[in-house]
Amino acid sequence: MASSASVIRSVSIRFQTPTELRKNQPTTEPPPFFAVITRLRDRISNLLTLYGCGKPNFDFAGLSERARSITLASANITHQSTTRYSGRHDGEHPIGGFLGTIEYAGDLTEFVPLLKAGEWTGVGRHTVWGNGQIEVWTR
């Protein structure tokens, strides 16, 4: 068990590019922590399965359940509407989302490796077009 000195009690996530975690989810309200960590877990799992060393040994259900205990401490987000053009579909498609900083509180220690990996992979929908870029600070 980790000593109390090594327990991370606060995480701030700066969403640097528009982020949408679920299709048709309002992007004017900060997402609960479990939504962020679940999307990160799934993205990293898929990338490892397709391009890495195979499917990771995550406790998928347990991780999501434990993430529900993390609370929203503060949020300063805005919504940005943007589109991308698809030549294949000959039209524009919305790819906006929220931007800004959200702070979560609780015992975040086990989630930090996923959050730090998310700085490299992005999180949410449309990451292939540059959405969902994050920066993470711990306290």
**Alpha-carbon span 86 to 83, nearest angstrom:** 10
User: Stretch 65-74: mean pLDDT, rounded?
Assistant: 98
Which residue would you say has higher pLDDT here, 92 or 5?
A: 92
Q: Burial letters for 70-94: b for 16+ Cβ neighbours within 10 Å, e otherwise?
A: beeeeeebeebeeeeeeeeeeeeee
Q: Using CA atoms in the order 75, 19, 21, 76, what is the torsion angle rounded to 10 degrees?
A: 10
Predicted confidence at residue 71, as pLDDT, reads 98
Q: pLDDT class for 2, splitting at 50, 70, 90?
A: low
Question: Do β-strands 134-138 and 10-19 pair in parallel, antiparallel, or remain unpaired?
Answer: antiparallel
Confidence of residue 4 (pLDDT cuts 50, 70, 90): low
Which of 62-66, 87-91, 110-114, 115-119 is predicted with the least confidence, judged by mean pLDDT? 87-91
For the chain, give the mean pLDDT. Answer: 91
Helix (H) or strand (E) holding 19: strand 10-19
Mean pLDDT of 128-137: 94
Q: How far apart are CA 93 and CA 83, in angstroms?
A: 5
User: In the structure, what pLDDT confidence band is assigned to residue 11 with cuts at 50, 70 and 90?
Assistant: very high
- The answer to whether residue 127 scores a pLDDT higher than 80 is yes
When pLDDT is averaged across residues 87-110 and rounded to a whole number, the result is: 91
Domains of the chain: 8-138 (3.30.70.1900)
Mean pLDDT score, 41-57: 92
pLDDT of residue 74: 98
